Amino acid sequence: MRIGVLTGGGDCPGLNAVIRAVVRKGIEGHGWDILGFRAGWQGPMDGLIKPLGLDEVEDILARGGTILGSSRTNPYSVEGGVDRIRAVVAEHGVDALIAVGGEDTLGVAKRLTDDGIPVVGVPKTIDNDLAATDYTFGFDTAVHIATEAIDRLRTTAESHHRALVVEVMGRHAGWIALHSGLAGGANVILVPERPFSIEQVTEWVQRRFERQFAPIIVVAEGAVPDGGAEVLQTGERDAFGHVRLGGVGNWLAEELAERTGKESRAVVLGHVQRGGTPTAYDRVLATRFGLHAVDAVAEGDFGVMVALRGTEITRVRLAEATASLKTVPLERYQEAEVFFG
């Protein structure tokens, strides 16, 4: 049997741990050949292949990024894209694919399975916004990086008695903002799920200044002011129709400086959150996902995604896994609100 594996969408720490687990169990447990496809769905579309043996996955467990490369290629928006995948898969005798990705990559995995190309999905995204799994790997690492940044920013903010706005990733879901904000003791946390009132944020910030402390405001890149719109870096859209967000942190810092008369600074953490070595938690979760994806292939259970429910790895249909996003519920946000101001 020959299996193809690919990583699609934004990279995230732990991808190499999945690849390693697939290769180790595929080869040593089942005697399969494993072909890596480079650059997400572009790999099987254009025949970009990297054979994966045991040597290729030595020493990659702790490495960030993905040895296969990634892209946001959508074969369904490329003329003849799916037929090209079909041809490459047939030419190389690939029996099934394991696709590691977020909502977009797994949405393609679902459609390909429906179109007769068997795929098993593995969920990844630092955003932790896939509904069918309790956690995605990459999230824990991103939260650690953001929390460490908040801890560091707090000491310089206190020295200068400034407001510090920390912009973190999170397009539609504020999980990174919520968890890093809670862990870092932020005085305001703003998430895409709850449009914010600039007057209320100003009040919380002022209250903090009045107590002679420097306020830390954590804002997700997709957060929007009441009646406002997302702040965009460019108007361009990727192959899945997503715009590039970024800029709400700078906007907020300027508004707060004007409204409070105090100095404010913004720090955009950006791709730092996605780089570098995965935490132990993410390495373990990614490894378990890889092992269970191999089991699904071995059982011929295609069109599924492996998922974490509690402490167990289960499987859900890709259709269900990609049907909706997991956003921050009101009750979780209200827990954090206790610490605002």
- Which residue number has the CB closest to ligand F6P? 169
Minimum distance of ligand F6P from residue 194's CB (angstroms): 18
Q: End-to-end CA distance of the chain, in Å?
A: 59
Tell me whether residue 82 or residue 189 sits nearer to ligand F6P (CB atom): 189
H runs (alpha helix) in 115-210: 139-160, 175-183, 198-210
User: What CA–CA distance (Å, rounded) separates 134 from 29?
Assistant: 28
Q: Choose the stretch contacting ligand F6P; rule: CB under 6 A; options: 119-127, 144-152, 187-195, 199-207.
A: 119-127
For 284-330, the DSSP string reads: HHHHHHHHHHHHHHHTT--SEEEEEETTEEEEEEHHHHTTSB-PPPH
- 10 part of the interface to ligand F6P, by CB under 6 A: yes
- Positions 26 through 85 that interact with ligand F6P (CB under 6 A): none
The alpha carbon of residue 283 and the mean position of all alpha carbons in its chain are separated, in whole angstroms, by 15
Return the residue of 36, 102, 192, 249 that touches ligand F6P, per CB under 6 A.
102
Return the residue of 170, 174, 184, 249 that touches ligand F6P, per CB under 6 A.
170
Minimum distance of ligand F6P from residue 129's CB (angstroms): 8
Q: Choose the stretch contacting ligand F6P; rule: CB under 6 A; options: 29-37, 110-118, 122-130, 318-326.
A: 122-130
- 169 part of the interface to ligand F6P, by CB under 6 A: yes
Tokens standing for residue 89: 């898969």
Cβ contact 103:42 at 8 Å: no
Binding mask 248-287 for ligand F6P (x = CB under 6 A): --------------------------x-------------
Q: Which of these, 340, 317, 339, lies nearest to 107 by C-alpha position?
A: 317
Cβ contact 223:191 at 8 Å: yes
User: What CA–CA distance (Å, rounded) separates 89 from 102?
Assistant: 22
Tell me whether residue 130 or residue 294 sits nearer to ligand F6P (CB atom): 130
Minimum distance of ligand F6P from residue 143's CB (angstroms): 12
Tell me whether residue 56 or residue 238 sits nearer to ligand F6P (CB atom): 238
- 140 part of the interface to ligand F6P, by CB under 6 A: no
Return the residue of 171, 179, 283, 315 that touches ligand F6P, per CB under 6 A.
171
Q: Choose the stretch contacting ligand F6P; rule: CB under 6 A; options: 28-36, 51-59, 75-83, 169-177.
A: 169-177
Do β-strands 264-268 and 232-237 pair in parallel, antiparallel, or remain unpaired? unpaired
Q: Choose the stretch contacting ligand F6P; rule: CB under 6 A; options: 17-25, 58-66, 166-174, 324-332.
A: 166-174
Do β-strands 96-101 and 49-51 pair in parallel, antiparallel, or remain unpaired? unpaired
Tell me whether residue 113 or residue 221 sits nearer to ligand F6P (CB atom): 221
Q: Which of these, 59, 136, 73, 144, lies nearest to 105 by C-alpha position?
A: 73
User: What CA–CA distance (Å, rounded) separates 81 from 78?
Assistant: 5
Q: Is 83 an active-site residue?
A: no
Q: Active-site positions?
A: 127
Please report, as ranges, the residues that interact with ligand F6P according to CB under 6 A.
Answer: 10, 102, 125-127, 169-171, 221, 244-245, 274
